[in-house]
Structure formats: structure tokens, C-alpha cells
Structure 1
Amino acid sequence: MANPPKPTSFPGIANAPLVGLAEGNGAFNNYHYAALVVVVPYFVKSFLPLVNRGGFRTYVFTVMLLFIPVTVGYWAAISNFGGRVNQKVVLPGKDIEQYITIKDAELKAKYHGKEKIPMQVFHDAYFDGKIDFNGDVLEILEQRHDWAKFNFTPELFKFFFTKFLPDVIMHTRTQDETQVREHYDRGDDFYEWFLGPRMIYTSGVIRDPSQHETLEQLQDNKLEVICNKLDLQPGDRLLDIGCGWGTLVAYAAKNFGADATGVTLAKNQTAFGNNRIRDNGVSAEQARILCCDYRDIPTDRKFNKIVSLEMGEHVGFLRYPKFLQQIYNLLDDDGIFVMQISGFRVQWQFEDLIWGMFMNKYVFPGADACRNLGWHINCAEGVGFEVNNVDVLGVHYSATLWRWYINWLKNKELVVAKYGERWFRTWAFFLAWSTIVSRQGSCSIFQIIFHKNLNAYQRIDLHANHVSIKYPRTKDLVSIN
């Protein structure tokens, strides 16, 4: 057997123990699944009385009729019995009582000893106070593969077909407004208890992993990176789509002299952002936050710099090309567009998908982060953009989430007093599990620089952004004859 992976020890992130580096079940196969969707209805049509007398239309009807049962059967079987990606990390094989305490009698009778508990069953029971972690949430979750299994349960199937799919497909204005405001207008104090004074709900950037930079340092690093990738200059017309609490808008106007406009659907964020702009000595003529749907961004002016940080996940995959087309139309021909967006790895594991379902149900209703980097780029190129640069920030997001988790635990008494024990548990679990997921590559963050793919675009102007090919010379090298 090959040597197991080696744990890291960087102060800048929450480092996984060896057991936390175990691979999960990634046995899903698109070809096998497609074959079942096609073949099972064929056999049903061929052997059932009456149905076997029909032609091609009957077969198509049978495919439609059996699509969901076949999907459920395959996903249930492969998620329960599929093998791990590899066995390089040997799991300890401890009883689950070493990790969690089940207080509910019915659950305790089903899951004990070596009988692992489905993650969906576990987290729902944990939120209800029926199960407790035997220690720190993050530390126990690092060892999750030894006590939990990541299989599709009846509850997950129900949510997937009745809530998740309709939400991510439709994304109506009313749905978006309701979901965004229910989430982001919960209370500024709720978010400040883990986001800290910067009030930035997107990934920060590690500058030095050998140091434990504060959350504020990570976010200041990110703000500086974004403004430099935009090549922001005094007087530039900047649009921030999904601007959150307006920190980037205020920062860009104050430090770079930009004429900055932010857009959000959340009323609390709009008020907070405009106050932040004013409190930083920036006039309303230079910077402002608008409370509106992204589809209603005024078209009476164009912008030469546009940024969208982790907002595209809320657009929905069917509307995503239209969203990018709208940005293309709002951008000057010589402008720059910087997008920061999350996405799944192509060779996903069942843990990745179950985490995504949990996020959609409990944290970001209607959000769809299961697209991969190639999909995002293909959509952008399809509407006329060209990629200038891509940075992958998954481990940076892990570092950010870890700091959010620490802040959340510090403010437990305040959270419980105002929002209750269930909310505290839900978000402690979310922040801890997401710290792991983003570190291990299940769902990463992509920071992409785009410009219009026009012959006249002066691509050399963006040479400064190609930092990754500008390594410092550490020694004199000899040319090859």
C-alpha cells in the first residue's frame, strides 16, 4: 500500500489529523447511471403485459415514468455500498460512542458500536438536541468517516426532489427576494458574531500561511487583491453585484478613489453599507448601495470595473448565462470583470453532495454551488468573455471559515440568548464542516479575471495580474545550448 498522506502543521489553517485525510465514497458512475435510466424502462416495456405492445412513444413514456425510481434506487445503492476512493488512511474503527452521545432512545437502538450513523440523520438530531458531540465540533468532525456514513436517506431524496431541484431551477424574483431577505436580514448582530467588524461574508486571502493572520487581516488582504486585480484607478466606475454589507464599496472608494455602486436585495445590508460609506468619510455622490434585484440594475450607465464575490451561486444554473450576459452588457469594452465563485470538484464524493444538500436546506436556501470551474468558464466564454487569470482559493476559504467558527463559539451565550440553542448548533456545525470541506477540495472558491474577447482589447495591460508566472529568481540558471 502507498504511504498515507502527511498531515500539515501550518498556523494559518485548521490542520487535519491523519484520520481527517481519509477519502470517502466516490463510487458514482455517470455511465452506469445513464445505462440504468435507458435499459430498465426497456426491460419493463418488453416484459409487462399490454405495455409491451406499444412502440417508441410508449418506451419514452416508460423512461419518464421510471426516471425517479431508477435514480433513487441507484443513488441509494451506490451511496450505501460503494467503496472509498482509496484506503491510504486506515480508519481507527472505534465505536461511535467514542465520538458522539446519542440521547434519543430510538436512535440509540439503531446506531451503536460499529454501526455508523447517516450524516443527515445525525445533523438533524444534533440540531434538535437529541445527539451531542463528545468534545469540540470541529475536532470530532475531522474523524467523521469513523462514525458517520454519507449515504442518501429517504429524507434527502424527499428534499432533493421537492425543494432543492425546484428552487435551483426556478429562481423567480419572489423566491430570490424571500430567501435573501430571510437569510441576510436576520440581524446584523447575528453575522457580526462570526464575521467580525469587517462584515464580509466571502473568502479572505492568506498572505502568509506560516503566521496566524487574524480574520481582519485575511479580509483586508482580499480587498487589496480584488482592487489590484481590477486595476482600480481614481474615477473608475465600479459595480459590486451582491455587495453584502458594502465593505468593498467603501474600501474601493476610500482607498482607490473609485465611483462605486453596490447592489444587494437585503434591506439591512443596504442600510448598513450606506452608513459604513458615510462613516468612512465617503460622500453619497461617490459611493452608494442600492437595494434591488440584480436583474433591475440600472442600464443608463456602463461600468469599466465590475466585481461579484460569491453571489453567482444564488442565480441558479438556468439563469447563470443570462446573468453573465447582463454583466457583459454593463461592462465597457475595455473593462475588467472579477468574479469569485464556489464550485464542486468534478470527481466528487458523496460527502460533497450531502454537504451541499445540507447547505441548501439550512444555510443558503436556493443556492447552487455544485458547478465546477470548467462550467463557470464555459458559460462566461459563451457570452463573449475571455479568461485572463484564475486563482483557486479553497484553502483560503477554509482559513476564513475556521476563524468564523472560532468567533461563533466565543459568542455562544449571545447567540443562544437571542436566537436559541438550535441556531447556535446549526451554525457551529455549518462552520466546522465547511472548514473541512473547503480545505479538502470538496467545494472550492475560484477567483477569475475576465475581459471581453475583442480583437481591440489591450491584453498586455493585464500583464501585472499574471503574478503566478513571476517567480523570484533564487539562483542563476545556465541556458541550455
Structure 2
Amino acid sequence: MTAVAERLGRLLEGYFGGRPPVRLRAWDGSETGPADAPVVVVGSRRALRRLLWQPSGLGLAEAYIAGELDIEGDLPDGLGRVARALRERGDAPGRPGPRELAAAAATALRLGALGPRPAPPGVRRAAPRGEKHSTGRDRAAISHHYDLSNAWYAELLDPSMAYSCGYWTESPGTPRDEPTTATAGAGADPGTGADPGTGAGTGAGSDGAGTGYGLAEAQRDKLELVCRKLALAPGARLLDMGCGWGSLALYAAREFKARVTAVTLSREQRDFVAARVEEEGLGGLVEVRLSHYRDLAADAGGYDAVSAIEMGEHVGEEHYPDFAARLHALLRPRGRLLMQQMSRGADAPGGGAFIETYIVPDMHMRPVGRTVDLLEGAGLEVRSVEAMREHYVRTIAAWYRTLEERRPAFAALAGDAAVRVWRLYLAGSMLAFAERRMGVDQILAVRPEEAGDSGLPATPRDWYAPVRP
């Protein structure tokens, strides 16, 4: 009898246009494929049955989440090697046609894998309802991702709880004499950091507590950069849209004495930020609101600065012009806007089936130039765009390493299936930024006065000059 791995290998040839760029190990212990290729473990007949019922990338993802399919060893490395092999060969496996499905069914019959459709993996799926990007649906989409639990994100993120791309002004692991503090490195020129590169797995997860430059320092340097670009000063009014767990709001109030209105759609985040505000004695400077951006009164314009750190991805294409107009209305003349936002090509604006189903639905990204057009169309003047794509590779690598190192703790919080969801999410995201399929940018804009005065100094170095109490 032909070994299971050989049968599966022949089946996959129809999808890849040749020998698959992986080594297969089947549930009977048999193996086939290149000896030096990543090892894909098909652990049960159920994996094959699942792919028959759902022959797509989402089907593969669900087989992985359920533990029926695995990649042996380092997951990001394995996914990256498969992707590189496919690119080098010019292969692009797509959705199988009738011939491939018939062959798969015949193989499954011989292997005893036919049967009813397997149940989804034991982890919560997103189930958005109602009109896309309505207030209620937006709230549900945000809740699905960000209300996983504050304990989960506290375990994953740096102490500031920044859940966005860091700004790596030094190479990971660079020795440091002083411990991490809120103001360490505050005097550094934000535009002269070292090239962050694209290497994952290079020590980016250092906690920075006197051991070397790591995630905590990179997030602090990002917060410092944002505050400087916004020209925050004592008493300045900052609106932080999509405030997350309050990293920017607290930093702006603590370090620059800005008066901050922090807005989120997540009840868990609102409660978390409110508790941190009270704990740090910043109640006179920070107000936290549970609100949709559309509910912010446009006639409350007069904010000196508005920030939206990786929040614009949740707005949607159809609603983005109104969103940009709302940003313009909320700013006083000569007020500044700082957007940090992910981008994708026009042909792939969403997160994909796996992201939409298990991470966060209804995301929409676009080329950065299109976002600039939309902001300018609302009357804002874009003054600079800073690409940070490589910084996100390092940031996600740090999160992934934390997930791996503390896997039992994460499994205790949400179960092993949730850990596998996040392993796949972070590994795939890291590759997307490394391979330039996704980008992230900081866009600095200003609302000019009617006569055209922007209020900005003549050179970027002076734009970012810190004004501290």
C-alpha cells in the first residue's frame, strides 16, 4: 500500500504545478518531499476532510488552529521559506478547480478521510452584523479583537501597553547603562535613529530593563516622536482617537502636561485607561470617553492636536472622506494631525479571510498616497510622510517571541486554539511587512488658516523640537 505522505504529495502537485516546496509528514509517520524543506505535519485524516469542505487559505488556517495541521519548528521561518520557494518557482497555488477537487475526494476516500464537515476550531469567530461600519457593527468588530482580555494584552505588550508599531532608534539589544524610564532618551533627535532593518528573531523582545534596547524603548521612542510631531506643550489640547490602552494619552499628559481627551469603542480599554489615569494621578489632564468618532461634536473644534494611531484602518473606504472631514473640523486652525496607519495595495485592501474571521473584521487599507489624497481633499495639508515598515517587522517579532516564551500563560488565559490563532496572525503579519505586502506610515498634517498660514517652522528639525514643562 502506498504511504499516506506519497498520496498527499501527489495530490498537492496539482495545486502547486509541481512538487510542493515542503516536506510532508502524514499521520501514519510516512514522509515525502525535499529533505531540507519546512516540514508540514498532517496529523489526522480530519485535516484532509476539512480541506475538502473548505479548500482555501481559511481552510488551511482552521486546520492549523485545530491542531490537525502544523509546521515543524519555527513557524515564521517555515512560512517564509514556503513563500520564497513559491516566488522563485513562479507558482501561485489558488483555489482548486473541479478536477483537483475530484482527485482530492478520491484520495480522501482511499485514505478513509471522507465524512461530515468538521466543526470550526474551538475559538471564537467574528460574526459582524448590520450595515458595514455602522456604529453598532464597528463597536462589535472592535470588541471582538480588543476585548479578548486586558490580561492577554498585558502579557503580550510592553509595560506602556502600546499595541502599534514601535520606533526603533537603536538596534535591538544595544547595551544600555540606564534602566527604562518614561523620559529616557527623550532628548534624542527623532529623525536620526539607526536603520532598523528587517531581521526578525534578533533580540527585539528585550524588555530593556538595563539589558539592552528592546520593545519597551522602541515604544517609548514612538510615543516621544508622536508628541514632538504634534508640538505638544503644557496645556495643549490633544484628542487621541482610538486610544487603545492609553499609552499615548498617558505619555502626553505625564511628559508634556497636555490636556488629553482619549476616545475608544472598547469598554475594556476604557475601563483600563480610566484606572491607569487614577493610579497615576492624571485625572486633571486625561478624560477617557467610550465613543464612536462620528459622535464627537464637530463644533468642538479647537483641539491643538489630533492623533489616530492605527485607528484609520477600521474606518472603511466609503466612510473615510467623512472621517477626514471630521478630523479637519475637530482641529483649530494651525492645529496638527498625526496619523499612524497601515497600508496595502489597491488590489488587497482588507485583512484576508483568516484576519476577517478570527482577528478583526471590516478592516480596510489602501496605498498611502490614496490616504494622503483623502486628507488633502478634506482641507488638511500633509507636511510629511514617514515610512516605518521595517520597524513593524521588529515590533511584531518582539510580540511573537513573547507569545512563544510565555505560551503556557497565554493558553491558561484563552486556550491553546487562541494561542495558535495568534501564532499564525503574528507570523503572517511579520512576513507581510518584511516582504512589502503591507506598510505602515506616520502622516503629519496641519489645518491651515484660511489665508494659508500653517504655523509650522521652516524646517522639519524645528517642527519636532520638544516643549516640556
> TM-score, with normalisation over the residues of structure 2?
0.70
Equivalent residues of 1:321, 1:379 under 8 A apart: yes
Once residues 41 and 350 of structure 2 are traced to their aligned partners in structure 1, the CA distance between those partners, rounded to angstroms, is: 22
Once residues 396 and 94 of structure 2 are traced to their aligned partners in structure 1, the CA distance between those partners, rounded to angstroms, is: 25
Equivalent residues of 2:215, 2:398 under 8 A apart: yes
Equivalent residues of 2:240, 2:308 under 8 A apart: yes
Once residues 144 and 94 of structure 1 are traced to their aligned partners in structure 2, the CA distance between those partners, rounded to angstroms, is: 7
Q: How far off is 1:363 after superposition?
A: 0.9
Q: How far off is 1:285 after superposition?
A: 2.6
Equivalent residues of 1:321, 1:383 under 8 A apart: yes
Residue type at the aligned position of 1:229: K
Of stretches 314-323 and 289-298 in structure 1, the one that deviates more from structure 2 is 289-298
Alpha carbons of 1:149 and 1:191: their partners in 2 closer, same or farther (altered >3 Å)? farther
What does residue 272 of structure 1 align with?
Answer: 272
Residues 245-273 of structure 1: CA deviation (Å, up to 9, x unaligned): 11111110110010111000111111111
Which of these residues, 417, 430, 455, is aligned with residue 425 of structure 2?
Answer: 430
Equivalent residues of 1:168, 1:316 under 8 A apart: no
Once residues 399 and 130 of structure 2 are traced to their aligned partners in structure 1, the CA distance between those partners, rounded to angstroms, is: 27
What does residue 365 of structure 1 align with?
Answer: 361
Alpha carbons of 1:424 and 1:153: their partners in 2 closer, same or farther (altered >3 Å)? farther
Which of these residues, 98, 101, 105, is aligned with residue 41 of structure 2?
Answer: 101
Alpha carbons of 1:125 and 1:221: their partners in 2 closer, same or farther (altered >3 Å)? same
Structure 1 unaligned residues grouped into runs of 5+: 1-79, 83-90, 112-116, 155-162, 469-481
Residues 332-386 of structure 1: CA deviation (Å, up to 9, x unaligned): 011000111111135x6xxx679633222221112112x1111101111111111
Residue type at the aligned position of 1:323: F
Residue type at the aligned position of 1:331: L
Equivalent residues of 1:229, 1:465 under 8 A apart: no
Residue 136 (structure 1) aligned with residue 74 (structure 2): yes
Residue type at the aligned position of 2:214: T
Residue type at the aligned position of 1:252: A
Once residues 398 and 105 of structure 1 are traced to their aligned partners in structure 2, the CA distance between those partners, rounded to angstroms, is: 35
Once residues 333 and 353 of structure 1 are traced to their aligned partners in structure 2, the CA distance between those partners, rounded to angstroms, is: 32
Residue 203 (structure 1) aligned with residue 165 (structure 2): yes
Percent identity for Structure 1 against Structure 2: 28
Report SS of the residue matched to 2:456: helix
What does residue 220 of structure 1 align with?
Answer: 220
What does residue 134 of structure 2 align with?
Answer: 172
Report SS of the residue matched to 1:338: strand
Once residues 327 and 337 of structure 1 are traced to their aligned partners in structure 2, the CA distance between those partners, rounded to angstroms, is: 8
Alpha carbons of 1:439 and 1:93: their partners in 2 closer, same or farther (altered >3 Å)? closer
Equivalent residues of 2:57, 2:354 under 8 A apart: no
Residues 416-450 of structure 1: CA deviation (Å, up to 9, x unaligned): 12311110000011111111111221111111001
Equivalent residues of 1:270, 1:289 under 8 A apart: yes
What does residue 387 of structure 2 align with?
Answer: 392
Q: How far off is 1:149 after superposition?
A: 5.3
1:76-475 aligned within 5 A: 93-97=21-25, 98-105=38-45, 107=47, 119-145=57-83, 146=85, 150-152=93-95, 170-209=132-171, 211=174, 212=204, 213-282=213-282, 284-299=283-298, 301=300, 302-346=302-346, 356-369=352-365, 371-454=366-449, 456-459=451-454, 461-465=456-460
Q: How far off is 1:186 after superposition?
A: 2.1
Once residues 195 and 150 of structure 1 are traced to their aligned partners in structure 2, the CA distance between those partners, rounded to angstroms, is: 35
Bigger proportion of residues as helix: 1
Alpha carbons of 1:124 and 1:109: their partners in 2 closer, same or farther (altered >3 Å)? closer
Once residues 263 and 341 of structure 2 are traced to their aligned partners in structure 1, the CA distance between those partners, rounded to angstroms, is: 17
Once residues 209 and 274 of structure 1 are traced to their aligned partners in structure 2, the CA distance between those partners, rounded to angstroms, is: 34
> How many pairs align?
363
Q: How far off is 1:107 after superposition?
A: 4.6
Once residues 449 and 344 of structure 2 are traced to their aligned partners in structure 1, the CA distance between those partners, rounded to angstroms, is: 30
Alpha carbons of 1:362 and 1:312: their partners in 2 closer, same or farther (altered >3 Å)? same
Once residues 139 and 132 of structure 2 are traced to their aligned partners in structure 1, the CA distance between those partners, rounded to angstroms, is: 13
Q: How far off is 1:276 after superposition?
A: 1.5
Q: How far off is 1:236 after superposition?
A: 0.5
Report SS of the residue matched to 1:461: coil
Q: How far off is 1:197 after superposition?
A: 1.7
Residue type at the aligned position of 2:287: R
> TM-score, with normalisation over the residues of structure 1?
0.69
